[in-house]
Amino acid sequence: MEKKQFKAEAKRLLDIVVNSIYTNREIFLRELISNASDAIDKVYYKTLTDDSLVFKKEDYYIKIVPDKKNRTLKIIDTGIGMTKEELDENLGTIAKSGSLQFKKENELKDGYDIIGQFGVGFYSAFLVADKVTVITKAFGSDKAYKWESNGVEEYSIDECQKDDFGTEIILNIKENTEDENFDEYLDEYNLRHIIKKYSDFIRYPIKMDISKRRLKDGSENEYEEYVEEEIINSMVPIWRKNKNELTEEDYNNFYFEKHYGFDKPIKHIHLSIDGTVSYNAILYIPEKASYDFYTKEYEKGLDLYSNGVLIMNRCPDLLVDYFAFVKGVVDSPDLSLNISREILQHDRQLKFIAKNIKNKIKKELENMLKNERDKYEIFYKSFGRQLKYGVYSDFGAHKEDLQDLLMFYSSKEKKMVTLNEYVSRMPKEQKYIYYASGESIEKIDKLPQTEVIKDKGYEILYFTDDIDEFAIKMMMTYKDKEFKSVSSSDLGIENEEDNQTKTDEKENKKLFEAMEEILKEKVKSVRSSKKLKSHPVCLSNDGDITIEMEKILNSMPT
Ligand code: ADP
Ligand code: MG
């Protein structure tokens, strides 16, 4: 029997890797920086396990060097480097990950910081380069090697000179084409932007020489150019820091830095969860709704990172709709990423995190309502409507999660109250939770129908938001108490004057009939009412839909 190896058309494979996995050219830098970070991590790991070695933090860094004149971009690291064999294996074999192997050999558990696993990231260099040169010297070796390829057919490996261990990757940036500008990968400002976007939380410093201008010594109008090395990334993500080390201002700064809003967040939630799925998260509850919050344009979601590397901005699957106002980041080492690190392979972990996060937000809002009522009311002004939409959506499936977060204006307290507060002070004989709908508190106050109920000493909740009545119709009951509109014909109020109404009805039969005739187009019937006190007349309805709801339904586009 003859065994044969599969042959792959390397050129085609490379082409597929380079052009179809990644949707976005700029990620080449994320990939090369991730590799550099992995390489330093490996040195770090070696020093941890070998007493004869020390890891001096300042010796380890990544440096990005653009050179416009020669059209090259260098990515330099002081990591573990590669031997000749490793160069051949890792860069000569597509889909071979030396990093994954390292993790396995050293039995590093999931959650260790090493990022690499698929063995294709390196080739993304060919998205922007027509030639890639790698100069590398392995840790503990005295020989350095140069690997070179134009990404088409072949690569070469030669011995070369390099003083210290580590790796230097030199990209020959492609010439601009008619529809693509490659110059931007040589531009300091743009490179800084890409680094900040994807690699801000890489644990080692990413340095770059930044050209600057300053006034010449002693001169008032003559400038001189100079360069200064800067660290571009912030390194330790705020969510990995200890809560006690962070101030309110740190959290607020991060909120602004991330452009989550112009307001000050009303609350932040910092989570460090260790469990089936581990993750860190910082979540913000904003104070004000952004101008587009209640529109279709608004995109909900949390920024998703895996080991400090950005996977996706505003990942919608992490947030339930009714908490769409929450902003923030989630970082989990336990996500199964797909090869491009762009889309997630399985959503089991994601679902788990999303559910967890939902419960944390709910708890936080409940605590705020309990302990910081003023703050909660400010929040509720901005986002109460969203919570009520939540109650209404999915046929009331989220009732349990949301009902205790709702507030309405109370006729009795003259302020916002919760349903629980309402129910807990209901007199024994009161059957229903009464509500009245209208445009404003003032208008509802003047509704004739509210009088009898108020007279009875019962509290009425004022519904001034379109969604209010729809939401509670979906809820049906709260703590087994039904909701009842003050305009419904049966208010469930015992009334001694019941007989009186009957006689009224009889005596005035002719009058009512005459009125019905005149108002034929406008009302179904005219009856005597026991709900009136100081007002002569009111509108009432028997059906499920109240007059206010009808108004809204009628105003909706069909
Ligand atoms: P991955 O990072 O998923 O393993 P890559 O294609 O990005 O795949 O890299 C392939 C392998 O090449 C890495 O696993 C690593 O062993 C090696 N490698 C790449 N870049 C470097 C570097 N800067 N220093 C040391 N080794 C590197
Ligand atoms: Mg990689």
Q: What is the pLDDT of residues 488-524, one digit of tens each?
A: 877 877 654 555 566 666 777 788 788 888 887 777 7
Q: Which helix (H) or strand (E) holds 323?
A: none
Sequence-ordered strand ranges (E) for 87-197:
129-137, 144-149, 155-160, 166-173
Torsion angle defined by CA atoms of residues 283, 287, 288 and 292, in that order, rounded to the nearest 10 degrees: 0
Cα 38 to ligand 2 centre (Å): 8
Q: Which ligand is nearest to the CA of 118?
A: 1
Ligand 2 centre from 280 Cα, in Å? 23
Please list, in sequence order, all residues whose beta carbon lies within 8 angstroms of the beta carbon of residue 9, skipping any fewer than 6 positions away. Answer: none
Q: Ligand 1 center to residue 207 CA distance, Å?
A: 20
ipTM of the complex: 0.99
Please return the burial class of 480, using the count of CB atoms within 10 Å of its CB with bins 0-12, 13-18 and 19+: exposed
Ligand 2 centre to CA of 367 (Å) is: 43
* Token representation of residue 265: 């967040």
Mutation pick for ligand 1 pocket among 27, 38, 133 (CB with most ligand atoms within 8 Å): 38
Q: Report CA(13)–ligand 1 centroid distance (Å).
A: 18
Annotated binding-site residue numbers for ATP: 31, 35, 77, 82, 90, 96-98, 117-122, 167, 341
Q: Which ligand is nearest to the CA of 74?
A: 1
- Whether 293 is in the pocket of ligand 1, judged by its Cβ within 6 Å, is no
Task: Note the pLDDT of residue 61.
Answer: 97
Is ligand 1 within 6 A of the CB of residue 122? yes
Does the C-beta of 82 come closer than 6 Å to ligand 1?
Answer: yes
Answer yes or no: is the C-beta of 118 below 6 A from any ligand 1 atom: yes
For residue 36, which atom of ligand 1 is closest to its CA? 23
Q: Which atom, in ligand 1's list, is nearest to the CA of 96?
A: 10
State pLDDT tens for residues 245-260.
899 988 998 898 888 9
Strands of 425-480, DSSP E: 433-437, 460-463, 477-478
Closest residue by Cα to residue 435 from 460, 418, 471: 460
Pocket of ligand 1 contains residue 78 by CB under 6 Å: no
Cα distance between residue 167 and residue 173, in whole Å: 19
Please report the pLDDT score of residue 113 as a whole number.
67
If you search the block for the tokens 């709709």, which residue do you land on? 321
Collect the ranges in the chain with pLDDT lower than 70.
1, 4-10, 108-113, 338-346, 494-505, 530-533, 541-549, 551-558
Q: What is the tally of helices (H) and strands (E) in the chain?
A: 17, 19
pLDDT in tens, 93-126: 777 888 888 878 877 654 456 777 777 889 899 9
Q: Give the residue, out of 90, 91, 157, with the most ligand 1 atoms within 8 A of its beta carbon, to mutate for a pocket test.
A: 90
Cα–Cα dist 434/453, whole Å: 8
Q: Measured from the CB, is residue 116 less than 6 Å from ligand 1?
A: yes
- Listed in sequence order, the DSSP H helices in 330-428 are 348-371, 373-392, 399-402, 419-424
CA of 309 to the centre of ligand 2 (A): 12
103: CB partners within 8 A, 6+ apart: 112, 114, 117
Rounded distance, CA 512 to CA 525, Å? Answer: 8
| pLDDT attached to residue 503 | 66
CB 146 within 8 A of CB 134: yes
The pLDDT assigned to 507 comes to 74
Sheet holding 309-315, edge to edge: 267-273, 279-285, 327-331, 302-306, 309-315
Give the number of whichever ligand sits closest to the CA of residue 76: 1
What is the model's pLDDT at position 111?
A: 43
Note the pTM of the prediction, 2 decimals: 0.73
pLDDT number for residue 485: 92
